[in-house]
């Protein structure tokens, strides 16, 4: 992907804006807890969700006729709104395929460690959506020490040239971390036709905060 480095920097900078706000008053955590967080998530998912390969799951969702409409951007605002010279399918693979080099590079750029990706599996007995868990330790800053984050990534719309993924990020070890979660909505759509005639993608990432009832 020719514009990979640019995309890395754009996403990393925008995400840091959000999570630096959240972590400003967070406490120290034990980085060894990361593997336990992912293990707990996978145990809960595996009880009700049959596993599947990433490619197979995408193909199954794409083949369905009753696709939900593409959702509106989240109310926190738009972090990324750019066109990239890559097909929507390939951009989706870059961002969310298992063991994606892009995600590893993004983690390195952000100083994130202990990155662990769960397997993609079906969410619920009706197998309506693909989901997986991802955990990592966010780098310490001048104000806070390392914080463990857990993501739940869920495909909510998949067509031939459109992919919508909702990412829910929990950081329970920060003060009041059990009372809210940050949500990121990735929308990958066809972009404008480029001069070479190749496909392009329109990537929009928006965010919001969901406050949880006690």
Widest Cα–Cα separation across the chain: 54
Confidence at residue 27, expressed as pLDDT on a 0 to 100 scale: 37
What is the structure's pLDDT at 105? 86
Tens digits of residue pLDDT in 51-82:
789 999 999 999 998 888 999 999 999 999 98
What is the residue extent of each domain of the chain? 4-211
Instruction: Find all residues with CB under 8 Å of 105, minimum gap 6, and list them.
Output: 4, 8
For the chain, where are the alpha helices, taking DSSP H only?
A: 4-22, 34-46, 54-62, 88-96, 101-110
pLDDT at 37: 45
pTM: 0.79
What does the alpha-carbon distance between residue 102 and residue 117 come to, in Å, rounded to a whole number? Answer: 13
Mean pLDDT of all residues in 76-97: 92
Joined together, the tokens standing for residue 96 give 């969310």
Contact 155, 129 (CB under 8 A): yes
Alpha-carbon gap, residue 123 to 140, rounded angstroms: 33
**Quick one: average pLDDT of 85-102?**
92
Tokens at 199, concatenated: 């496909």
155: pLDDT strictly greater than 70: yes
User: 138 CB contacts (<8 Å, ≥6 apart)?
Assistant: 19, 23, 110, 111, 112, 146, 147, 148, 149, 171
**Residue 12 to residues 20, 49, 107, Cα–Cα distance (Å):** 12, 31, 9
């Amino acid at each position: 992907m020719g514009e990979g480095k640019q995309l890395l920097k754009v996403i990393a900078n925008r995400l840091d804006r959000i999570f630096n706000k959240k972590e400003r008053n967070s406490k120290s955590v034990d980085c060894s807890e990361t593997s336990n967080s992912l293990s707990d998530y996978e145990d809960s998912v595996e009880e009700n969700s049959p596993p599947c390969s990433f490619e197979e799951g995408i193909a199954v969702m794409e083949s369905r006729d009753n696709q939900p409409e593409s959702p509106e951007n989240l109310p926190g605002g738009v972090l990324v709104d750019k066109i990239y010279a890559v097909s929507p399918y390939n951009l989706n693979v870059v961002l969310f395929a298992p063991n994606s080099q892009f995600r590893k590079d993004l983690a390195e750029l952000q100083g994130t460690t202990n990155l662990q990706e769960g397997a993609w599996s079906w969410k619920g007995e009706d197998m309506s959506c693909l989901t997986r868990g991802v955990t990592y330790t966010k780098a310490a800053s001048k104000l806070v020490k390392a914080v463990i984050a857990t993501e739940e990534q869920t495909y909510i719309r998949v067509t031939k040239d459109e992919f919508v993924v909702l990412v829910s990020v929990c950081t329970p070890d920060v003060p009041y971390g059990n009372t809210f979660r940050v949500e990121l909505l990735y929308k990958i759509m066809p972009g404008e036709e480029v001069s070479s005639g190749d496909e392009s993608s329109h990537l929009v990432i928006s965010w919001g905060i969901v406050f949880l009832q006690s």
